[in-house]
Amino acid sequence: MNKRFNIITGVLLLAFLVTSSFSVSAKKKKVLLYTKNGEGYVHKNIPSSIKAITKICLENKIEIDVSEDPSLFTEENLKQYDALIFSNTNNGIFDTDEQKLAFQRYIQAGGSFVGIHSATGSEREWPWFWKMIGGKFRRHAPNQDFTVKVLDKNHPSTDFLPEIYQREKEECYYHSNLNPDIHVLLVADMTSVEDSKKEEYPFDIFGKTFPLCWDHEFDGGRQWYTSLGHQIEHYEDPTFQKHLLGGIKWAINKKGKLDYTNATTKLIID
C-alpha cells in the first residue's frame, strides 16, 4: 500500500514539476510600442504601423502595449517589457530627464530595443541615443524606387529576402554619427538612387552603398533598426511585416533577464 502510494505521489510530483517548468518557459513575451513625436514632421504612417505591429505581435503570441505617453518611462514600468519598439518617433520624445534616465537604465540593464524608420530622428541632441540606435538621421533622398542588397542572409529579418531586390516608393535614409559597432544587414545600392545632393552627403562614405538596416549590442542592451517603412501601404505588405517580425523576434530573444545592477548611470550624460 505504501509502495503504491509512493509511486502515485512520485508521478503526481513529476507532473507538477513538468507543468510548472512548461508554464515558466511558455511565458509570453511583452513589448511596448512607442510612437511619440515632438515638434516637427510627424509621419502619417503611424496608425498603419501600429495596426501592423499589433497584428504581427498578437499572431506570434507577443503581448503588446501601445502608447505615445512618455510618462510610462519609469524604471518600475519598463521592467515588464522584453523590448521597446519606437515606430516613427521623431524629434523630442521625452518630457523630462527622469524619463530619459529610465530608458537609458533599461538598456543598461539588458533591455532590447527596436527602431523603425524615423526613430533615428528622435532625441537629436542626445549623443548616447545616437550610439544606442546606431546613428543619427541626417536627411533622405526623394521618395523613389531603388535597389536594396542583403548583406546578411542569416538574420530572421532578412533570411527570406532575395540577395538583391527593388524597394518601391521608399525614402533612402542617410545617417551621420554611425556607431562603428553596428552589424549591417541591408544596404541601398547608391547607383540606383537619384539624388541631386548625393555629392554633398553621403558622397562616397560607404562607396556605392549606404546602410539601411542593422543590429548591434550597445551599453548592455540589444538593438535592431530598419530605416525602411515610409509609406502607409508598406505596413500592409506581408514581406515588410515579416521583416519587422524578424527584427522584433531577434530583439526579444536575448538571453538573460533584466539586471539593474548593471545599470550604473545615475544622471543623464553624453
Beta-bridge partners for 113: 84, 223
Q: What is the pLDDT averaged over residues 210-222?
A: 98
Sign of CA dihedral 239, 244, 249, 254: positive
What mean pLDDT comes out for the span 22-31?
A: 68
Report pLDDT for 270.
54
Burial of 75 from C-beta contacts in 10 A (0-12 / 13-18 / 19+): middle
pLDDT at residue 1, rounded to an integer: 44
With contact defined as beta carbons under 8 Å apart, do 104 and 223 qualify? no
User: Using CA atoms, how far apart are residues 65 and 75, in angstroms rounded to an integer?
Assistant: 16
In whole angstroms, give the CA distance from residue 227 to residue 87.
10
Say if residue 140's pLDDT is above 60: yes
Indicate whether 23 pLDDT > 80.
no
pLDDT of residue 255: 87
Query: Are residues 116 and 88 in contact, defined by beta-carbon separation less than 8 angstroms?
Result: yes
Burial string for 132-153 (b: 16+ CB within 10 Å, else e) reads: bbbbbbeebbeeeebbbbbbee
Contact of 230 with 73, CB cutoff 8 Å: no
Given pLDDT bands bounded at 50, 70 and 90, which one contains residue 266? confident
| Residue 113 and residue 81 in contact, taking contact as beta carbons nearer than 8 Å | no
Find where cell 510627424 sits. Answer: 42
Q: CA nearest 252: which of 5, 48, 33? A: 33
Which of 146, 150, 127, 143 shows the shortest CA–CA distance to 214?
Answer: 150
The residue type of 249 is: K
Mean predicted confidence (pLDDT) in 111-117:
98
Q: Which helix (H) or strand (E) holds 10?
A: helix 2-25
Percent of the chain past pLDDT 90, that is, above it, reads 86
pLDDT of residue 268: 55
Q: Which residue has the higher pLDDT, 22 or 100?
A: 100
Confidence of residue 12 (pLDDT cuts 50, 70, 90): very low
Helices and strands in the chain, H and E counts: 6, 11
Q: Are 52 and 235 in contact (CB under 8 A)?
A: yes
pLDDT recorded at residue 8: 39
Q: What is the pLDDT of residues 49-105, one digit of tens each?
A: 999 999 999 999 999 999 999 999 999 999 999 999 999 999 999 999 999 999 999
Our measurement of the distance from residue 174's CA atom to the centroid of its chain's CA atoms, rounded to an integer in Å, reads 18
Cα separation, 10 vs 4, whole angstroms:
10
Picking from 23-37, 190-204, 225-239, which range would have the lowest pLDDT averaged per residue? 23-37
Work out the pLDDT band at 4, boundaries 50, 70, 90. Answer: very low
Beta-carbon-side half-sphere exposure of residue 27 (alpha carbons within 13 Å): 11
Mean pLDDT of the chain: 91
The distance of Cα 75 from the centroid of its chain, to the nearest Å, equals: 19
- Is the pLDDT at 265 greater than 90? The verdict is no
CATH number belonging to domain 29-262: 3.40.50.880
Nearest to 88 by CA among 265, 196, 201, 244: 244
Q: Is the pLDDT of residue 220 over 50?
A: yes
